[in-house]
Chains A and B, each alone.
Chain A
């Protein structure tokens, strides 16, 4: 009997090895291991053997069955995998067709994206972000910011005034800068303060380089012992975050009514080396100067502190810096937008390029 088992096993193994399809293997499974097959029958017959032979015969037959079973399982798994691979290999599509359904991703407007980028830089420097009203009073927009009564910006040719009852300092207007928030904030918050004010502002100007509405970000930091050098360091950090780590900063003396000293701030051009492109042409971005004018700033004028002295700001002990930058200008410089009008046309072909 043991010999017979060995014969069956040998024959079955040969046939299993030769089988190439899952179906053939199933047939072999029935043929060698099915209820009517010889090997199971031999196993059942073990009981009729003399007791001393039963042990070895049973073990041998059982091992043979298990071994064949495992062999068929393994071969079948291999076959199935091969068959699936073959089927999948035939099941191809054009993978270069576009995705569907189109999960459209929208776009932040370039002005918003730029505003957020700048906000995040100053948030990282510990500044809070505050917003304020766009319809303002003469008091906050001009008077408290040390504007001379004859300052041209007050004129009706420069500033939009609002119809209403307010007169003198209470007359209402569309804010011409985000600076009125300097006063509103200092009225509410005692020093030290560090904050920025993003927002929409309005000037009565419309030409190739001006739109009657545009966007600014005001910055204000007040404490004891704040210096012009601190302003330079802060704006250098800003410039490098926005325009690249290699940027340098240049301060040019200027005049603003609410800062003293006042400076205009230039950032070294990121498109050229000192005004000349790598090909040696005059850089079109900086007009060959090597510098890009990005914002106006200065040390808060003592008269501005005097306007809020009852709120804890003392012109003798408190110093601070303020700056105001145009979001449109930064976006135009950084992304090479040639014309302000693109920002307000809202042409999808423009909007989808950014944000």
Chain B
């Protein structure tokens, strides 16, 4: 909405500059998005002129040389290109020195040899409408030299307030004026609908028309008045100028009146050509599915049963509360006007305008929910203007279906409650003053005030808290003391254990050189194909968005891996040799989740490393590239930090290299996987190098981590370490060798760890040599060689019999 200050000043005294006013409004609850300027920078040097003579220019067919009285001693010569300029006209003149809206300063100029000292103005030259063909002709009563700003608003500051959705009363200038009055103390004028020229006729039915409202919920009030002897024509310049400053195009006097009244009262009206209403009868009803209506903008609209319309004997003729129909539009030939001011159900209007993709000045006001009383206020104001500007006569009677809204609500505002909610008192007199300025009726009560809510705040102010907000916002929040509340929760606060562990896991990855990304939760459903998922793979149970912004963002990601691959591809394409990335975030599957969650959401921790496993340097120019063992080490680091016991298990995942896939198994089940991304998957992200990857259900892992670590004595009796080199057939898993050694060495062997792997001539074809550290320890004594020797033999025997293994060399 645009609020020209010049126009606003008709309703409230404004002593502040536009910028000061917008700051004050912002601090009382109405943000002002922008302050604009309409028209010339200043109204100086714009005056009324009288054309004394208009002669053909001697050297130019399309120019006239005019002598114009601008109130100076001598008439001035002005060369004018407008075809309609003629002697005897009263016109607007820009004198030399005037600054035009585009910033150019007018000087004296020679046009084809004739000196011109000024300019006779067309509308568009002042930012009023688009009329350029002819000059503006003013009424003859104006005397030459009168400053133009006394005739109409030549220049005005314009506020663009952002009215919050609860303030339907601020959809018009008068509502804003009331706010300005309360916020600044500037005197408020009586509302422009205070005197209704049609007042005696309320309650009677204008002769010859009939209106039926089928659904009083969708249309709580419908009022109509009939105007006869209407002369449709252009609006006077002051109306045009105001509408232009408010951002509205002038159309005709009748249509301009509906817009003018809406801009002031906040209540939209619609003017019908009464003679185009078939049967002179209107019905307010729901549309039938598939019914069509051509709206004023020329579009044919296909309606549905939830849309409310106004029909005549020939069918739909207006889209209720959104836009009129072209069939009953007011035209130059119109002589009889039916002026409609109704109230429509806000939610329904909102649905209709969304459904049809049609937002109008009317719908945006109605959808906030307007009070029924506003309909007659708008009628009163429109009537005065119809009589003044169109020469119309008002037919007897005002049709009114529905009547006023519910009776006024009275709310007690307790002084004590103000202190308790705000933390600081506001004097009762001050509260009263504020509420009265906002139009509330206030009477004294023993513990506060009894406050009657005006109809324009009926839906917005219903409780004591709402009144406290009114008082607080106008009184100002600057003086509120900053205090800290007592914390009586009995809890110290802080992160939960699981949250701390998730942070720890993330920190481990950061400590190992990985950078965290934040990917999109949205993804493309085709990602399932790119991950080579079978048709019935559980990851295909996608959470699907009904109204996505694009198909590439139409489902929720089932895994973090695609986000990581996106980020890797992005960086590799920009010259990175490799990258080490992780993300900690949600993954989604359809179907009900735990604890009443609407979908199956998990907190996942995923990481990929591609390219060098560690950063190359001058002393380490060619580090190995990241492989499955890189991912394995990261998993060990993360789960080790969380204190979780886990094992590697064979597994199969369609998006991983089948020979390089490992599942992470803990006591409670599978916690995730690691491996190398399937080259077919990598290539669909245009990555040609191996990608080590891992994913851990970190939410579950954190929940499962041991709560408390108890002490073990690892220092009193240090272990005895022996190194074994074992040759086993290729294909025997290292984990099996370790398990065999620990089992055979029980109970004194508690740890065996592979530190070297060798394949080659020395161990023979089809065999592999593993070198292991083996720790022998007891918790009650330091072991001797005699303790260890027999176990060593048992281990060798077990390796031989169980794994076909033998000690090397």
Chain A positions within 8 Å of B, measured between CB atoms, are 97-109, 111-112, 116, 119, 122-123, 125-129, 131, 133-137, 148-152, 155-157, 160-164, 166, 172, 174, 192-195, 200, 202, 204, 206, 212-213, 221, 223, 225-230, 232-234, 236-237, 249-255, 260-264, 299, 301-302, 319, 343-348, 351-352, 355
CB <8 Å contact, A152 and B614: no
Within 8 Å CB of A152, what residues of B? 165, 350, 367
Contact with A319, one of B167, B421, B489 (Cβ below 8 angstroms)? B421
B464: nearest chain-A partner, CB-CB: A302
CB <8 Å contact, B597 and A126: no
CB <8 Å contact, B516 and A106: yes
- Residues facing A in B741-768 (CB within 8 A) are none
Of A225, A228, A262, A347, most buried by chain B (CB within 10 Å of CB) is A228
CB <8 Å contact, B510 and A106: yes
Report if A302-B477 is in contact (Cβ < 8 Å); known contacts: A105-B513, A127-B493.
Answer: no
Complex Cα gap A192–B485 (Å): 11
Instruction: Output the least CB separation between A187 and chain B (Å).
Output: 9
- Residues facing A in B556-609 (CB within 8 A) are 556, 566-567, 570-571, 574, 576, 579-582, 584-586, 588, 590, 593, 597-599, 601, 603
B509: nearest chain-A partner, CB-CB: A106
CB <8 Å contact, A106 and B515: yes
A-contact bits for B314-330, CB 8 A (1 contact / 0 none):
00000000000000000
CB <8 Å contact, B618 and A229: no
CB <8 Å contact, A149 and B347: yes
Report if A104-B513 is in contact (Cβ < 8 Å); known contacts: A135-B597, A135-B598, A206-B549.
Answer: yes
CB <8 Å contact, B466 and A109: no
Within 8 Å CB of B516, what residues of A? 106-109, 112, 351, 355
Within 8 Å CB of B586, what residues of A? 134, 200
Instruction: Output the least CB separation between B653 and chain A (Å).
Output: 24
Of B477, B543, B623, most buried by chain A (CB within 10 Å of CB) is B477
CB <8 Å contact, A347 and B483: no
Instruction: Output the least CB separation between B420 and chain A (Å).
Output: 6
Q: At the interface, yes or no: B115 with Cβ under 8 Å from chain A?
A: no
Complex Cα gap A293–B512 (Å): 37
Complex Cα gap A118–B472 (Å): 29
B420: nearest chain-A partner, CB-CB: A225
Within 8 Å CB of B486, what residues of A? 223
CB <8 Å contact, B164 and A150: no
CB <8 Å contact, B469 and A260: yes
CB <8 Å contact, A172 and B585: no
CB <8 Å contact, A156 and B493: no
The 10 A-B residue pairs with the shortest CB-CB distance in the complex, in nearest-first order: A229-B423, A227-B423, A104-B513, A255-B164, A253-B473, A253-B29, A100-B619, A261-B469, A150-B347, A233-B482
Instruction: Output the least CB separation between A257 and chain B (Å).
Output: 8
Within 8 Å CB of A174, what residues of B? 521, 545, 556
Complex Cα gap A36–B659 (Å): 76
Within 8 Å CB of B576, what residues of A? 348
Report if A133-B598 is in contact (Cβ < 8 Å); known contacts: A125-B493, A128-B493, A232-B480.
Answer: yes
Report if A126-B487 is in contact (Cβ < 8 Å); known contacts: A106-B510, A133-B599, A346-B581.
Answer: yes
Instruction: Output the least CB separation between B175 and chain A (Å).
Output: 15
Within 8 Å CB of B789, what residues of A? none
Report if A253-B517 is in contact (Cβ < 8 Å); known contacts: A126-B492, A135-B597, A346-B570.
Answer: no
Complex Cα gap A253–B481 (Å): 16
Within 8 Å CB of A164, what residues of B? 590
B494: nearest chain-A partner, CB-CB: A123
27 A/B residue pairs, CB under 8 Å, sorted by A: A102-B614, A106-B514, A109-B515, A116-B503, A128-B489, A128-B496, A129-B496, A133-B599, A134-B586, A134-B588, A149-B347, A152-B367, A155-B354, A160-B547, A161-B545, A213-B522, A226-B485, A227-B421, A229-B424, A229-B481, A230-B483, A232-B483, A255-B164, A255-B167, A346-B518, A351-B516, A352-B515
Chain B positions within 8 Å of A, measured between CB atoms, are 26-29, 31, 164-167, 346-347, 349-351, 354, 367-369, 420-424, 463, 465-466, 468-469, 472-473, 477-478, 480-489, 491-496, 499, 503, 506, 509-522, 543-549, 553, 556, 566-567, 570-571, 574, 576, 579-582, 584-586, 588, 590, 593, 597-599, 601, 603, 614-620, 623
Complex Cα gap A136–B520 (Å): 18
Complex Cα gap A300–B718 (Å): 62
Within 8 Å CB of A122, what residues of B? 493
CB <8 Å contact, A213 and B520: yes
Complex Cα gap A75–B102 (Å): 97
Instruction: Output the least CB separation between B587 and chain A (Å).
Output: 11
Report if A344-B477 is in contact (Cβ < 8 Å); known contacts: A99-B617, A101-B623.
Answer: no
Contact with A98, one of B466, B482, B546, B617 (Cβ below 8 angstroms)? B617
Within 8 Å CB of B489, what residues of A? 126, 128, 192-194
Within 8 Å CB of A254, what residues of B? 29, 31, 164
B496: nearest chain-A partner, CB-CB: A129
CB <8 Å contact, B619 and A101: yes
Instruction: Output the least CB separation between A284 and chain B (Å).
Output: 18
Within 8 Å CB of B509, what residues of A? 106
Instruction: Output the least CB separation between B30 and chain A (Å).
Output: 9
